[in-house]
Structure 1
């Protein structure tokens, strides 16, 4: 299945749309009754309810009650629409004021804000943003999140890398959580029901003497989580490890600069 990615459309037109730059030439014909914002809102609703595959210009037109080609007079195509949807999702994020708090608390807040974003709009976690949409929502998000790393002795490249490191972890966890939800829905069974259905066969074929470590650890984890995988536990454990790793980097900069860790 092809990977959706941002900034795949016409760069100049996309930036004009993201920043709502008026077209140079006035449009001819009857006065337009739609708006870019209305199209983005409908497309976002479709993605939230049915996933990105459901977002087509035709489906958007149907929801808006207009002719199939009408959305194209506002947005060139799905690639540009995807960037608009992403930027709108970024603009709508809740952003806590953590000024004055320790750096771990600030970065934890950033992680939680992104986790909440992925929970509200699970499709966002599936998009590759190696070329991010450089709209006002994205820039406000980036500015806010970098403030959590300001004043820690990191240089600009390290600040960007540290933020990427944190957000990549949160996105990967969100994808795994979405996959776990999809598996439950597809099988019509929760984790406990799934294991109960498969346990008899596993007991017949799985030899704990051949796989002693796997059997011991897998049993312990499954008992602790009630499942083979717990997205919540993976998030809490992984976030602590990410912050521990950044603590080493920050402490090294503090030693170099002769300052106390913040």
Structure 2
């Protein structure tokens, strides 16, 4: 699977694209056929369907029915385009701070929105965002997430850490789920079918008595999930435990027993 990195293009050009400074608006003549927004929309469609490995300026140009060089008139390169694509996707989750029901409901909403986001756009899991695209959608999302945990007695660093914990957990859980679905598409076997084919051979070589806990618990889990992994169960179980841990932190700051 291809791995890309956000923030690896020209920082100035990326920020101009993200904040609208590079849109071409001729003073006179016909309306331009292309915009950065339209190019990003087509790029996201390609990446959604086929992954980032299928994304290229030439492929985008073919989809738009224009020359490859005309794409470069609007976007300097793939690195900057990926920053635009990410920021556009980050605008999709509904604001977390507007959810009624208290901090736990807000953080649960935050996690579920990210889980859904990565399933809509699996290519986002192919992008390392150690240098995030600092566009308007990302900053709006971050502001909303911080407001979701404001006023709980946490320090600034703890507020940032709580947001990172919840969104990072959702991303990790979604990665497992997405990769399992991709494996099924590429092999033509469901996880249950794969296990049914693997188990008899495994039984031939592995002595269950050597791994009593693994055999017992692994069998129970496999029956529950219908395979070796239950991504939805892992997400729900993990989210509950993450929120429980955050509750302990908040109570320690507010003095509640």
TM range (shorter): over 0.9
The normalised TM-score by structure 2 is 0.93
Aligned-partner SS, 1:147 = helix
Which residue of structure 2 aligns with residue 217 of structure 1? 217
**Structure 1 residues 66 and 25, CA gap change in structure 2 (3 angstroms):** closer
Q: CA deviation at 1:212?
A: 1.0
Alpha-carbon separation, structure 2, partners of 1:46 and 1:24: 24
Which residue of structure 1 aligns with residue 145 of structure 2? 145
Q: CA deviation at 1:82?
A: 0.2
Given that 2:173 and 2:231 are in contact with CA atoms closer than 8 Å, whether structure 1 keeps it comes out as: yes
Residue ranges of structure 2 left out of the alignment (5+ in a row)? none
Alpha-carbon separation, structure 2, partners of 1:97 and 1:166: 14
2:156 paired with 1:156: yes
Aligned-partner SS, 1:69 = helix
Q: What is the Cα-based RMSD across aligned positions, in Å?
A: 2.2
The normalised TM-score by structure 1 is 0.91
Alpha-carbon separation, structure 2, partners of 1:23 and 1:71: 12
Which residue of structure 2 aligns with residue 124 of structure 1? 124
Q: CA deviation at 1:97?
A: 6.0
Given that 1:95 and 1:113 are in contact with CA atoms closer than 8 Å, whether structure 2 keeps it comes out as: no
Q: CA deviation at 1:95?
A: 3.4
How do 1:85-124 and structure 2 match up within 5 A? 85-95=85-95, 98-124=98-124
Residue ranges of structure 1 left out of the alignment (5+ in a row)? none
Q: CA deviation at 1:58?
A: 0.7
Alpha-carbon separation, structure 1, partners of 2:84 and 2:40: 7
2:172 paired with 1:172: yes
Alpha-carbon separation, structure 2, partners of 1:218 and 1:58: 47
Alpha-carbon separation, structure 1, partners of 2:148 and 2:25: 43
Q: CA deviation at 1:29?
A: 10
Higher mean displacement: 145-154 or 96-105: 96-105
Which residue of structure 2 aligns with residue 195 of structure 1? 195
